[in-house]
């Protein structure tokens, strides 16, 4: 397979425009520390950030530490998070993850990718969200928006989230990785939607591979 070769000049123009469009882009999940972000990110699988915020607003008032969550029974937590999809699995995963944090990490969220992805309910995307938004590290979490928009724009050329992450890492300066992730999510929600992207009013059209091919 041919390896992806980003067009540096085009990438630079896209980045500049994304920065202009979304100067304050950040995660929509509400949290006040890395542990809360980890729980919110686990809850966000197949659920909107808005719905997660609605749940965590009450949840974090009742339970806020790994010790609190580790002491819960799955049925107790299920009741609290019932408003989001896959709540039975998420309940089990959150309790087990909290127990591991207490027993193995002194109640703290680990700050390295390998340890994070070993936690139940934490995949590559969730680990990267925690690293970038929770700890300010350079990481790109590839969700459905990032995957779609990056490949349409030509910032990546891959059929998988992992390949897209690698292509983006190659195309864009490391110090921009976290912000890029938020820019692409915002653009995917507002303009480059899955169905009927608003190409005619999109200011990235002149550099967009998908639009230029039309
Ligand atoms: S031109 Fe169309 S496909 Fe390209 S980024 Fe804009 S909305 Fe998406």
Instruction: List, for residues 73-95, the tens digit of each pLDDT value.
Output: 999 999 999 999 999 999 999 99
Ligand 1 pocket check for 207: Cβ under 6 Å: no
Does 125 participate in catalysis according to the annotation? yes
Provide the token pair at 5: 């070769």
Does 143 participate in catalysis according to the annotation? yes
Ligand 1 pocket check for 204: Cβ under 6 Å: yes
Residues with Cβ within 8 Å of 2's Cβ and at least 6 positions away in sequence, in order, are none
Q: What is the pLDDT of residues 167-195, one digit of tens each?
A: 999 999 999 999 999 999 999 999 999 99
Residue 152 CA: nearest ligand 1 atom is 3
Determine the average pLDDT of the residues in 107-112: 98
Determine the average pLDDT of the residues in 4-19: 95
The CA distance from 28 to 22, in Å, is 13
Ligand 1 centroid – CA 158 distance (Å): 17
The CA distance from 88 to 75, in Å, is 8
SS (H, E, C) 93-153: HHHHHHHHHHHHHCCCCCCCHHHHHCCCCCCHHHHHHHHHHHHCCCCCCCCHHHHHHHHHH
pLDDT exceeds cutoff 80 at 135: yes
Model confidence band, residue 1 (pLDDT cutoffs 50, 70, 90) = low
Q: DSSP label at 3?
A: P
Ligand 1 centroid – CA 133 distance (Å): 26
Q: What is the pLDDT of residues 120-133, one digit of tens each?
A: 999 999 999 999 99
Mean pLDDT over the full length of the chain:
96
Write down the residue that tokens 């085009």 correspond to.
Answer: 10
| Domains along the sequence of the chain with CATH | 8-25+140-213 (1.10.1670.10), 34-135 (1.10.340.30)
Pocket perturbation via mutation, ligand 1, pick of 14, 151, 153 by most ligand atoms within 8 A of CB: 153
The CA distance from 185 to 128, in Å, is 14
pLDDT exceeds cutoff 80 at 214: no
């Amino acid at each position: 397979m041919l390896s992806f070769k980003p067009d540096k000049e085009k990438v630079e123009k896209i980045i500049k425009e994304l920065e202009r469009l979304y100067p304050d882009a950040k995660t929509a999940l509400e949290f006040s520390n890395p542990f809360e972000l980890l729980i919110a990110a686990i809850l966000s699988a197949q659920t909107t950030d808005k719905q997660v915020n609605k749940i965590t607003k009450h949840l974090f008032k009742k339970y806020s530490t790994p010790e609190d969550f580790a002491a819960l029974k799955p049925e107790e937590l299920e009741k609290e998070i019932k408003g989001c999809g896959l709540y039975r699995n998420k309940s089990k995963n959150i309790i087990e993850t909290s127990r591991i944090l207490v027993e193995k990490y002194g109640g703290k969220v680990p700050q390295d990718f390998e340890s994070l992805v070993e936690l139940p309910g934490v995949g590559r995307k969730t680990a990267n969200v925690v690293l970038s938004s929770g700890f300010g590290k350079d990481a790109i979490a590839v969700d459905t928006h990032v995957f779609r928009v990056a490949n349409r724009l030509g910032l990546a050329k891959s059929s998988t989230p992992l390949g897209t992450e690698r292509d983006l890492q190659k195309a864009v300066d490391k110090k921009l990785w976290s912000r890029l992730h938020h820019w692409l999510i915002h653009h995917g929600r507002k303009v480059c939607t899955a169905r009927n992207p608003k190409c005619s009013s999109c200011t990235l059209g002149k550099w967009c591979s998908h639009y230029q091919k039309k």
